[in-house]
Structure 1
């Protein structure tokens, strides 16, 4: 056997041997924090968690509501209007910035726009693709013990047999965010956490939630795709939006996105810059920013975001907060950040993640919705979900979520355990590209933390010159961190070359 076939055979054996272990590990990682089993989702999606039953509980019809009817509901009219407005603005920006590249629906265009007709079609609907516990966000919603999320995938319902050109699942998710504890409920957060970590048939956690828990809708839509060409690299843009439920008016209204810093407004207004800089560099807010629990005031936030992918490891204007740090007109200077970090340390604060200018810059990006979605996602999604309707699911539908999602499960489960046991939870989180271990060994050696394909930082000599924010971003034994960008020392863990 020649060297090439032998290498391929070894690689195939390694991959095939690893797949069952990886699948088992993924299932274990999400225990108590998410529901991804296809059979369970099929049952839940056909029952009280069918989307129209959550949004229109008075509707008694057994036939699911098609999207043509869904977006005709008075409660969903503002959602459709806002999404249409984002499409119009996206196309207008494209014509202004890339006048020589065409944009439209279909493969004949340089930028292939998502066909909005499918979103509002009688032939599509949203199908339940996963249930995710986010009680790790109780710090942001203490009265409701955090959140439970029902994630639905846009699906074509009349796919012709053998029509491979029209996949049944379309590139959009709708996240129905529920309060883990409904208003007026007397149940304790500890009891809700106990049910999730040790669910039983008699007192399951899903018994506690229904349409009365609805808080908001979050949408993630692949708005356009540009194949690699002679003038550009492959690129896909995702549109992110949030709509809060106004219970009195019974409508979903467009809302600012949590921590989605409005870069364009900041860079255009010096007074706004000063106000935001003063707020974020205040020691109390800086510590929360470091821990990943900061809640930036809504006046500094945008109500929509485009998340381009992929972005790579080098600084790029595709990143949501590019230009806020350094450069002409920047919001923060190096001196601003260094002085703020020193002041926080002198005040007794123990920063966990941000120990340098680069750490501050990375947190600026990954604290935003779009920056997080650009990090270790499946395209621009962190939870595309399992396709329980498919006859032969592909890899993209067998794996329900991204490496970022799975890497965060240890932290989320640790918080659930603290809530269950009545202990003060540690709500902090690391950077989006490198999860917290919380004393666990579950992630060691995996691609979620320091195994093959994990994100890492190229260590230099002397060690004292390595960036303090990323000094522990190393690789497991037998692997080495290999930079993948032109200027950045960030990279991925690969097998050492001899």
Structure 2
């Protein structure tokens, strides 16, 4: 008889692509991530416009085009455009604030795309979040449909030339969140649910578990999911269950040449819009657990008094704290690269005194309580920050996202995502699956979760054979704090401080012990904060001048002793030289000959790439003409990239490329994850 750990291991390995499969399956029965299946689901009724249509009384044949012209989304449109305009002036980062004094908007999200009728929202994921059933607003948790923004425009033609149509996704996701439990009136219409009273959380969970057993081609799988038996049938998922819309978008990006110390800089806007069925519209709302610093700083004692109670310490320790709405913000901005080492991603920084936290934890234990996860002040602070929107999205994310969706085969490989979610997303699947199983059995699920940066140790066996627990690229810890003492690296790996930080000291990344594996970092340093939100990266190895200054005399290239290998780095000897942004640098093989096991053949930018982008040429032209082959870190769902890197599609046209594996590169090297470099003017598409 299999143990729970063995069962989870089988489930995890099958969902992470570690076995051969003849057809598309669900990721651990808690997510639909295959692009072909998702396209079929969208055609079958799950486009965001068709889901909103009945709710907002649309009469025309909706197809996502011109979606933001729908009155229900006008608040979303207007708010986003205003936030894009305001961001440089409100940023605590001086590099970004300086943009407000310039008329150059080329490094910001172009708001014209939002108004263009050629823009669409593509369904890129369906995610079961029954693990959020501990929240008061729904007993069965949530179901999320995730969409990516996509544009298609015809550039204004130069004299004597034909206009060229250019299309790409942009770094903007919208998540339409549903109550996982259908309303009785809708459920009563289902043949599979004879009466409304039969609809329970167990019914929802069993449908998802059944879906996970299906071994069908994409079109057939999509049809079954939408059938009366499936979890996405019209009775089980419809507009009556809509709760809110969650927005995550890159509002601006500074190039590596502009923000040299970090190898570039990007800012991500996070917003929530709650659905009001009475007015059939979305309205701006406060964000779950996103602390408003200004509000709390104005009265720190009140926040500390609320937070440091036994009930709230217990909930924080178990990963299910819900902060009182009076302390929350309606808007948030996270920054990359650097993850939780960046001060702006630590929204709760020094809002509660460490001495008060220490006393509260000691008193909590003295009263006979047990701490499962947060066993120190540092653990308390990290947990509080990573439960915020900004902290969560910058914990080993993909350029500010945890779910982006993979691209269909039709997208050019140079602009395509291979792995749809972050390491955090895939590492959490066994926990989510266990909760679905507990719901299906009619029990009371255990909603406890470990830190976002490190899966709970009880799921280590389920993740065995992957890099998602303590493998290459995992977040690790090299200090002696009891909250993180088990955050170690596996055999043959060491914990390296790529972005050391005084906010969270001792944390690093698991890399090869000798630093000789493809994809390993080659530059190491620390992040220094002058004021909250104002950070500077100081490289320590190879050594630079004092005060983190770029000194051409000392800014040496990392030394690579391996024959046939090279270092893609984030800083260069000549401050005037256009550079690529490689946070922490990256060891690569100069050619694709005799690749080691961890590598595959891919493409990197070469001299002339940045000039091509700056000239305004189509990104497809630049990535075709100004790239070169190299041995890069291979990646898949079970073997993700390091923090601040993304797993892009493999290159089937290169004979040395390994089938079924992507390549790890900085996310802003592919155009769908940067707001700059896209057309700035075009012929406006207008619907008839």
**Given that residues 29 and 406 in structure 1 are in contact (C-alpha distance below 8 angstroms), is that contact kept between their aligned partners in structure 2?**
no
Q: Residue 69 of structure 2: SS of its match in structure 1? A: coil
Query: Which stretch shows the higher mean deviation, 237-246 or 28-37?
Result: 28-37
**Given that residues 141 and 180 in structure 2 are in contact (C-alpha distance below 8 angstroms), is that contact kept between their aligned partners in structure 1?**
yes
C-alpha separation in 1, matches of 2:97 and 2:356: 41
Q: Which one of the candidate residues 430, 439, 462 is aligned to 1:442?
A: 462
C-alpha separation in 2, matches of 1:357 and 1:95: 26
Q: Which has the higher contact order (CA 8 A, sep 6+)?
A: 2
Q: Deviations over 1:291-350 (max 9, x none)?
A: 110111111000110011112564x422232532xxxxxx32222011111122123322
C-alpha separation in 1, matches of 2:509 and 2:165: 34
**Given that residues 446 and 454 in structure 1 are in contact (C-alpha distance below 8 angstroms), is that contact kept between their aligned partners in structure 2?**
no
C-alpha separation in 1, matches of 2:68 and 2:61: 19
Q: 1:164 to 1:485 in 2, by over 3 A?
A: farther
Residue aligning to 2:64:
65
Residue aligning to 2:50:
53
Q: Residue 206 of structure 1: SS of its match in structure 2? A: coil
- Indicate whether 1:473 and 2:472 are aligned: no
Residue aligning to 1:195:
207
**Given that residues 15 and 28 in structure 2 are in contact (C-alpha distance below 8 angstroms), is that contact kept between their aligned partners in structure 1?**
no
Q: 1:356 to 1:228 in 2, by over 3 A?
A: same
Q: Residue 182 of structure 2: SS of its match in structure 1? A: coil
CA RMSD between the two structures: 2.9
Per-residue deviation, 1:283? 0.8
Per-residue deviation, 1:286? 0.8
**Given that residues 180 and 213 in structure 1 are in contact (C-alpha distance below 8 angstroms), is that contact kept between their aligned partners in structure 2?**
yes
C-alpha separation in 2, matches of 1:30 and 1:75: 33
Residue aligning to 1:154:
149
C-alpha separation in 1, matches of 2:256 and 2:273: 34
**Given that residues 269 and 334 in structure 2 are in contact (C-alpha distance below 8 angstroms), is that contact kept between their aligned partners in structure 1?**
yes
Query: Which stretch shows the higher mean deviation, 34-43 or 91-100?
Result: 91-100
Q: Residue 46 of structure 2: SS of its match in structure 1? A: coil
C-alpha separation in 2, matches of 1:79 and 1:188: 33
C-alpha separation in 1, matches of 2:91 and 2:382: 27
Residue aligning to 1:182:
182
Q: Which one of the candidate residues 514, 526, 548 is aligned to 1:497?
A: 514
Residue aligning to 1:244:
274
C-alpha separation in 1, matches of 2:294 and 2:465: 40
Q: Deviations over 1:145-170 (max 9, x none)?
A: 1100000110114578x999955211
Q: Which one of the candidate residues 406, 410, 419 is aligned to 2:426?
A: 406
**Given that residues 293 and 428 in structure 1 are in contact (C-alpha distance below 8 angstroms), is that contact kept between their aligned partners in structure 2?**
yes
**Given that residues 311 and 318 in structure 1 are in contact (C-alpha distance below 8 angstroms), is that contact kept between their aligned partners in structure 2?**
no
Instruction: Give aligned pairs, total.
Output: 458
**Given that residues 105 and 115 in structure 1 are in contact (C-alpha distance below 8 angstroms), is that contact kept between their aligned partners in structure 2?**
no
Q: Residue 139 of structure 1: SS of its match in structure 2? A: coil
**Given that residues 173 and 221 in structure 1 are in contact (C-alpha distance below 8 angstroms), is that contact kept between their aligned partners in structure 2?**
yes
Residue aligning to 1:222:
250
Q: 1:197 to 1:425 in 2, by over 3 A?
A: same
**Given that residues 377 and 403 in structure 1 are in contact (C-alpha distance below 8 angstroms), is that contact kept between their aligned partners in structure 2?**
yes
C-alpha separation in 2, matches of 1:437 and 1:486: 24
TM-score (norm 1): 0.85
**Given that residues 457 and 474 in structure 1 are in contact (C-alpha distance below 8 angstroms), is that contact kept between their aligned partners in structure 2?**
yes
Query: Which stretch shows the higher mean deviation, 230-239 or 287-296?
Result: 230-239
Which structure 2 segments of 5+ residues have no match?
1-13, 156-161, 185-195, 215-223, 516-688
Q: Which one of the candidate residues 23, 27, 30 is aligned to 2:27?
A: 30
C-alpha separation in 2, matches of 1:103 and 1:249: 36
Which structure 1 segments of 5+ residues have no match?
1-19, 325-330, 460-465
TM-score (norm 2): 0.62
C-alpha separation in 2, matches of 1:373 and 1:158: 30
Residue aligning to 2:521:
none
C-alpha separation in 2, matches of 1:92 and 1:473: 39
Q: Residue 458 of structure 2: SS of its match in structure 1? A: coil
Q: Which one of the candidate residues 264, 278, 284 is aligned to 2:294?
A: 264
Q: Residue 461 of structure 2: SS of its match in structure 1? A: coil
C-alpha separation in 1, matches of 2:19 and 2:283: 39
Bigger CA radius of gyration: 2
**Given that residues 414 and 438 in structure 1 are in contact (C-alpha distance below 8 angstroms), is that contact kept between their aligned partners in structure 2?**
no
Per-residue deviation, 1:178? 0.6
In proportion to residue count, which structure has more helix?
1
